[in-house]
Structure 1
Amino acid sequence: MESDVDRIEPPGDRANRSASRLIQNEATTEIPVHLLFRDEPGPRPGPVRLGPAVVASRQGTGEQPRYRRRVPAPAARPAPETDPALVERPARVLPGAVGVIAGACGTAGCVLTSWWAGALPPLAVAALRLPAGAGAGLGLPQWAAYAGAGVLGLSGIGGLTRGRTGRAWVLGLFGRYAGTVRRTGLLWVNPLARRRRVDVRLRHWRSEPMPAADPGGVGLRVAVLVVWRVRDTARAALGIDDHERYLRECVEAALLRVPVEAPGGAPGAADAAEGALTRLVARDAEPVGLEVFRVRPARVEYVPEVAAAMHRRGVAALDARQRATMVTSVVDSVEDTVTRLTTRGLVELDDYERKVLVRDLTVAFCAGRRGPGPAVGMDMFN
């Protein structure tokens, strides 16, 4: 049964309308001719989701699917493995007066125990104005008193230490980190703790010449000046053995990645290299408790293999610049002289006479500037 549209519209118009709708459809895309007859060997992969839609091979059109190349994400740089507990923290200390008092009490206890046992000499008893003792002898109570007084005196005197400005004490108790002492003055710490002195002042270290390269790949030897200090005493004292050796290795690794400007280069490039070196060395030194403020190339020179060739090249470039400057000055002088002579009407010259005058003035000026010897520019007028 025909619809109302079939009855109203003729078949030809209906076919044309369908074709026009098919061409104007948004889902239909233009198909290149060379894709209609392309036959790829091997199994065809499945559709790949591109944005909100899935683009695959269209049935009946011969269009091949389009695929997006997946670029793997760069692997994240793992953080250095450090002990979370190895972080600087203040140690428990007491004022130095506590140790002095404990030492004095222990000494007094030993003296009194000796008087109690009758072992104190009569002259000492008379000097201390002590009553005559009964002379009980060295028994178990006397030995116990000696032990207690001795432990008290040794603990008080053995725990005394002096804190100085710019120095710190890293304490370790039975193989474990017990804290850091940054206070100054007379202090009392646990006498059983092991003490490590650490210099926390600002320091600088100058390296020996290290291998490097300039932006053009020419070999260099660079002596670097590093300004640094210890920021975390726990990691610096217990994490590495030699600070300067660690800095040397960090600087040497950074020089292999950052090109250094050759001698006589632009100052801006030297500042950029200094900033890059500082960032790399500071990042490598941070996990071990070192703070790096500046890494500056103090002396830059070519390696012996290319030093002679670069010296000759520099001398030649300098001589060329001097020659160019001298020729420019001579030409300006000759031009000014000829212009003044002709402008003021002192001489009237035709083209040939002008050329002769210019040649003679050029030879005279070059000979006067260079001294005896062949003049520059003489051959250009012959």
Structure 2
Amino acid sequence: MTMQDHSASGLSTIKVRVDDRPAILVGSGYVALLLALIFLVLTVWIAYGAFTRNAYGDLHASTWSLLCALLSLIVAILFGSSIYSLQPNESAVLTLFGAYAGTDSAPGLRATVPLFKIAKVSQRVRYHECGKLKVNDLIGNPIEIGAVVVWRVDNSAKAIFQIDDYADFVGAQTESALRHIAGRHPYDFDEAVTHAGPDEAVSHDQVAARTLSLRESGDQVTNELIVELKERLAVAGVTINEAWINHLAYAPEIAPVTLRRQQASAVIAARKLVVSGAVDIVKEALDKLKEQTDIDLDPERKAAMVSNLLVVLVSDKDATPVVNTGTLYA
């Protein structure tokens, strides 16, 4: 085994992963408070009885009584220093000379061994708002995206021992995951189809990703963000309750161009609808004209009538009638 292998194996054995487990030597703080008060009263009583006067009125103190009073005072202080309180959705991580001794999550007045060090961790629900991030989507368009993540500490021991500052860790991982998710999907599905082209060869994963756009598939994209954040934050003992995208827009440098493209697409779609309806109207007019009047137009007259009707129906302006007094034939 090489020196590098030795160092790698040594680092792997140094890493100690902890997990929540019930704390030992933990009890009710009310009992400890009562014992502290008892020893404090006992200290006063012993100290008062240690001083006596002789027959001449001189004041004398008993050394043994004073030592007993001092010992009683120390015991009262130890009981008092071992008391701590926990609120609902709050836990205490106990360590003894740097070694993990367990986690106490029972709310109320609690007490433990005075030598234990207590680190309180809030398990209440919190939220982190990720500001506007400028990223590139799947196609490469610059967009602005922001999200809100609701999280809480699920494993207090991991939050204390695995991560130096778990709140900052949540913020950093949220920004990284949001950038990753935004880069896997296009802003709009129509853009993805246009960008891919009819003859472009794309993989199955790319096709699956393009079917989920950031604008139209918000719920699916949000679920992907939650799953990725849970995986990233598991090491810190943090779980994600919910998340949502609170800001999504094109970057300012391409927003005007994109707006014109969307307007052009809307105009084209409206034109197609108008032309399709006009063709149906013309066909129905010709069929009814033939059925009700028994007039069978020749191809030239039929073409002229179709042309005139289409111009009238498709045109944005009112048509000006022209009366034809002649004939199409010479």
Mark yes or no: TM-score above 0.5.
yes
Partner residue of 1:351? 299
- Residue in 2 that maps onto 1:337: 285
Distance (whole Å) between structure 2 residues aligned to residue 340 and residue 103 of structure 1: 105
Q: Distance in 2 between matches of 1:135 and 1:253?
A: 80
Rate the CA distance shift 1:361–1:287 in 2: closer, same or farther, 3 A: same
Per the alignment, residue 98 of structure 1 pairs with: 31
SS at 2:312's partner residue?
A: helix
Instruction: From the superposition, tell whether residues 135 and 274 of structure 1 become closer, same or farther in structure 2 (CA, over 3 Å).
Output: farther
**Most deviating of 142-151 and 261-270:** 261-270
Q: Which has the higher contact order (CA 8 A, sep 6+)?
A: 2
Give, in whole Å, the separation in 1 of the partners of 2:318 and 2:164. 67
Per the alignment, do residues 196 and 337 of structure 1 end up closer, same or farther by CA in structure 2, a change over 3 Å counting?
Answer: farther
Instruction: Specify the SS of the correspondent of 1:344.
Output: helix
Question: Which 4+ runs in 1 deviate beyond 6 A?
Answer: 79-82
Residue segments in structure 1 that go unaligned for 5+ positions in a row: 1-78, 120-133, 376-382
Query: Any residues of structure 2 matched to 1:267-286 within 5 Å, and which?
Result: 268-269=212-213, 270=217, 273-274=221-222, 276-286=224-234
1:89 to 13, 18, 21: 21
- Corresponding residue number in structure 1 for 2:128: 205
The 1-side partners of 2:51 and 2:167 are apart by 60
The answer to whether structure 1 residue 234 and structure 2 residue 157 are counterparts is: yes
**1:197, CA displacement in angstroms?**
2.1
Aligned to 1:172: 95
Tell whether the 8 Å contact from 2:20 to 2:157 is kept in structure 1 after alignment: yes
Q: For 2:45, give the aligned amino acid.
A: L
Q: Provide the secondary structure at the position in 1 that maps to 2:254.
A: helix
Displacement after TM superposition at 1:267 (Å): 6.8
Larger radius of gyration: 1
Structure 2 match to 1:196:
119
Matched, 1:363 2:311: yes
Structure-2 residue corresponding to 1:159:
82
Q: What CA distance in whole angstroms lies between the structure 2 residues aligned with 1:283 and 1:184?
A: 30
Letter of the structure 2 residue corresponding to residue 334 of structure 1: V
CA shift for structure 1 position 308:
2.3
Give a deviation string over 1:36-82, Cα, whole Å, max 9, x none: xxxxxxxxxxxxxxxxxxxxxxxxxxxxxxxxxxxxxxxxxxx9998
3-state DSSP class of the match of 2:16? coil
Is the strand fraction higher in 1 or 2?
A: 2
- For 1:158, the aligned partner's letter is S
Which structure: greater helix fraction?
2
Q: Alignment length, in residue pairs?
A: 280
How much has 1:230 moved relative to structure 2? 1.9
- Percent of residue pairs identical: 21
Tell me what 1:313 maps to: 261
Q: Distance between the aligned counterparts of 2:234 and 2:12, measured in 1?
A: 10
Q: Secondary structure at the match of 2:68?
A: helix
- The equivalent residue for 1:146 is 69
What is the deviation of 1:115? Answer: 3.1
Which residue in the other structure is 1:304 paired with?
A: 252
Q: Which moved more, 1:285-294 or 1:160-169?
A: 285-294
Report the Cα distance in structure 1 between the residues aligned to 2:223 and 2:137, rounded to whole angstroms. 16
CA distance in 2, matches of 1:225, 1:188: 38
Q: TM-score, normalised by structure 2?
A: 0.71
Indicate which of 76, 100, 106 corresponds to 1:183: 106
